[in-house]
Amino acid sequence: MQTLVLKGEEALKKGAELIRAGEVVAFPTETVYGLGADAFNEVAVRKIFEAKGRPSDNPLIVHIADEKGLEGLVSDVSDSAEAIMKKFMPGPITVIMKKGEKVPLSVTAGLDTVGIRMPSNAVSREFIRECGTPIAAPSANRSTHISPTNAEHVFEDMDGRIPLIIDGGESEVGIESTIVDASTDVPTILRPGAITAEMLAEVLGAVRTFSGKVVVAKAPGMKYKHYAPSCETVVAIGAESATKAYDDAENKGLSPVVIARSSTCAKLGGRTHIDLGESDVEICRNIYAALHRGEKIANFIVCEHFGNEGVCGSVMNRVMKSAGGKTV
Ligand code: AMP
Ligand code: MG
């Protein structure tokens, strides 16, 4: 199969045609690129799992353009779900609610709940509107690889596997949506993201952050290896330990690279590095592109620990998985 990469009106028109014909299309969102299909078309949804090589017990997120899109998708909107939607949608958040009857079980991996997201990215919204149906989508990477934040990342993983990639430039947020389960009494964060626990607590009074044993695959990255570059990756706390990890790797004959914020890069004595910028927002936006670049130019990645506060905590949630938990 030939994989087209298109922009603008032409891309949206062609994308919507393909979706209506039961095909899979990659599209941009503010978080990461998604691999979408008509959420009500069981056969189309199965193609997503095939293209990604994703286990079928890992559910997808259903994307809508506006509140009208909720019709038929959910059977109950709890007070907390309502409050989250009012404050944070459209935006980088997914709310888990009780599913409607029409949603195929392949979308929810057999669960009686469904994840709903309303992207703020203008291209995603136009695309979903043009399709005229909710779009089920996970991130547009091969299962376990790094999530894509531009069309080129998607092409590297999906060339020959899907008919079309809609190119909408770089994802502004850069990591996957915050996932909140609002189907239970106390809303629970299943995956941290750019909308933090503190921000949610302001609206909800209290949220639970996920901790404890994993029984079923409820949130990504808990049961499966995720966000992993193709080479060994470690996390280093501060410039000094990053430098040491780099030198140790080089002494073993490896070609290392350090991924860090600007002020840390300045302390690396000219060692090969990828500069993410200084602010938390820049670090979040650039982290996946840096991991993509890192695995290309090096065979050992040392990533700085950015701390566990606010959005950096969400970035570290991904980076620690990339590193398989390995800190030096
Ligand atoms: P991705 O963003 O590529 O990891 O794909 C969507 C993610 O949303 C999945 O990995 C799920 O963990 C999560 N998700 C979707 N629906 C549900 C649900 N009903 N309950 C819990 N998590 C969900
Ligand atoms: Mg994913």
CATH of the domain at 38: 3.90.870.10
Q: Any residues with CB less than 8 A from the CB of 168 and at least 6 apart, and which?
A: 7, 27, 28, 121, 123, 124, 151
Same domain? 183 vs 242: no
DSSP code at position 169: -
What would the DSSP string read from start to end of 177-202? PEEEE-SSSS-EEEE--SS-HHHHHH
What residue has token string 């941290």?
A: 192
Whether 154 is in a domain gets the answer yes
Q: Which residue of 191, 223, 226, 288 sits with most ligand 1 atoms within 8 Å of its CB, as the best mutation to test the pocket? A: 191
Measured distance CA(43)–CA(20) in Å, rounded? 12
Same domain? 186 vs 43: yes
Whether 37 is in a domain gets the answer yes
CA of 220 to the centre of ligand 2 (A): 7
CATH code of the domain covering residue 318? 3.40.50.11030
Tokens (6 digits) for 179: 């996932």
Measured distance CA(52)–CA(47) in Å, rounded? 9
- List strand residue ranges (DSSP E) for 1-66, in order: 4-6, 25-27, 34-38, 61-63
Amino acid at site 77:
V
Choose one of 178, 209, 240: the last residue of a domain.
209
Measured from the Cβ of residue 137, the count of other Cβ atoms closer than 10 Å reads 28
Q: Which domain holds residue 169?
A: 4-209
Peptide bond into 90 cis (omega under 30): yes
DSSP code at position 33: -
What would the DSSP string read from start to end of 113-166? EEEEE----HHHHHHHHHHTS-EEE-BSS-TTSPPPSSHHHHHHHHTTTSSEEE
Whether 81 is in a domain gets the answer yes
Q: Is 106 in the pocket of ligand 1 (CB under 6 A)?
A: no
Same domain? 249 vs 131: no
Same domain? 250 vs 202: no
Choose one of 209, 241, 269: the last residue of a domain.
209
Measured distance CA(62)–CA(107) in Å, rounded? 8
pLDDT number for residue 55: 87
CA of 20 to the centre of ligand 1 (A): 23
CA of 170 to the centre of ligand 1 (A): 22
Triad 275, 142, 286: Cα angle to 5°: 15
Asked whether 293 and 277 are in contact (CB, 8 A), the reply is no
pLDDT number for residue 219: 45
Whether 124 is in a domain gets the answer yes
- Judging by beta carbons within 10 Å of its beta carbon (0-12, 13-18, 19+), is residue 24 exposed, middle or buried? buried
Same domain? 182 vs 240: no
Same domain? 56 vs 119: yes
**Measuring from atom 13 of ligand 1, which residue has the nearest CA?**
219
* Total of domains in the chain: 2
Phi, psi of 190 (to 5 degrees): -95, -25
pLDDT number for residue 17: 98
Same domain? 18 vs 56: yes
Measured from the Cβ of residue 94, the count of other Cβ atoms closer than 10 Å reads 26
Measured distance CA(97)–CA(113) in Å, rounded? 5
Measured distance CA(303)–CA(260) in Å, rounded? 6
Whether 214 is in a domain gets the answer no
Same domain? 241 vs 152: no
Same domain? 201 vs 236: no
Query: Coil, strand, or helix at residue 306?
Result: coil
Whether 302 is in a domain gets the answer yes
Same domain? 269 vs 189: no
Q: Is 78 in the pocket of ligand 1 (CB under 6 A)?
A: no
Same domain? 18 vs 88: yes
Q: Which parts of the chain register pLDDT below 50?
A: 212-224
Asked whether 271 and 316 are in contact (CB, 8 A), the reply is no
Whether 203 is in a domain gets the answer yes
Q: Which residue of 97, 190, 317, 321 sits with most ligand 1 atoms within 8 Å of its CB, as the best mutation to test the pocket? A: 190
Query: Coil, strand, or helix at residue 174?
Result: coil
Whether 84 is in a domain gets the answer yes
Is the whole model's pTM more than 0.85, yes or no?
Answer: no
Same domain? 196 vs 238: no
